Structure 1
């Protein structure tokens, strides 16, 4: 199938894709992004489409999988950022710090706690907190992915224990 033919085929299902994306995302802007991501992915993998099969079903599956992957990434980022934010609140002992100097001291305490768990655990933990995927961390640190996951889990456990002692 030529690029032009493939583009025409996608254009035939433009309204369907937009409506399907709206049902998945419940948000107009996110739906537009999802349609764009889907079209890019479909175009990238157009050689995988088998002529004579259900194109609408094929592209709908790509959209659904793209939506699921994006949702999972978003959830991971929330899960990763929540524990660290929760750690900062635990240090504050659940009071609002209006004094910037006091907030700086609390952040220094948190950084000291991070330093105290050692590079072995701190480096993968901070990389994961900054949004790196487990596989990216494993590649950069030249470690097996299971080791990376274990070290991040252990770092969280150690930080939680340190915070409980400090509170």
Structure 2
């Protein structure tokens, strides 16, 4: 099947995706983005479509997978910034909450340490932190999968060492 034939079939058969996207996202703007991303991925992967098979089922699967992956990425992102201590403090009013200023300073220190990482480690680490999968990062940066995994591992290791060192300095300074 030629690219133009595939595009014609795709255009004719893709209308059912719009209501499905709205049903999944409950947001018109996000639904439009999901619809466009689905069509883009279908066009980018047209060689994976087997002529004669159910195009609607194939497109539905693509859309569903995009939606699920985006949901997981957002959930992972929000989990990282989850304010569990605030929730616990609200559930148990007798407990005292953490000092927000201290948390802000800690976040600023971590961010500063991330910014000082060498570019080859910082870029994949930040993408991973944003919720992208190793394979997606490897594709975006055009690097082998093993290289990406190693760089993220070493970035974590460097950050752990640097943050531990800065905490020791901070604790010795506050003890004085």
TM-score w.r.t. length of structure 1: 0.60
Give the whole-Å Cα distance in 1 for the aligned partners of 2:62 and 2:36: 12
Deviation by residue 1:68-88 (Cα, 9 ceiling, x = unmatched): 1111111111112225996xx
1:49-64 alignment, distance < 5 Å: 49-64=49-64
Aligned counterparts of 1:132 and 1:79: Cα–Cα separation in 2 = 11
Higher RCO structure (Cα 8 Å, ≥6 apart)? 1
Secondary structure at the residue paired with 2:81? helix
Q: 2:89 matched to which residue of 1?
A: none
Partner residue in 2 for 1:90: 98
How many residues align? The count is 135
Q: What is the Cα deviation at residue 65 of structure 1?
A: 0.7
Superposed CA offset, 1:49-84 (max 9, x none): 111111111111111111111111111111122259
Q: Distance in 2 between matches of 1:74 and 1:132?
A: 7
CA 1:77–1:3 in 2, change beyond 3 Å: closer, same or farther? same
Q: What stretches of structure 1 of length at least 5 have no aligned partner?
A: 93-102, 160-167
Q: Which residue of the partner structure matches residue 37 of structure 1? A: 37
Match of 2:56, SS state, is: helix
User: Aligned Cα RMSD in Å?
Assistant: 4.3
Q: Does 1:76 align with 2:76?
A: yes
**Residue number in structure 2 paired with 1:65:** 65
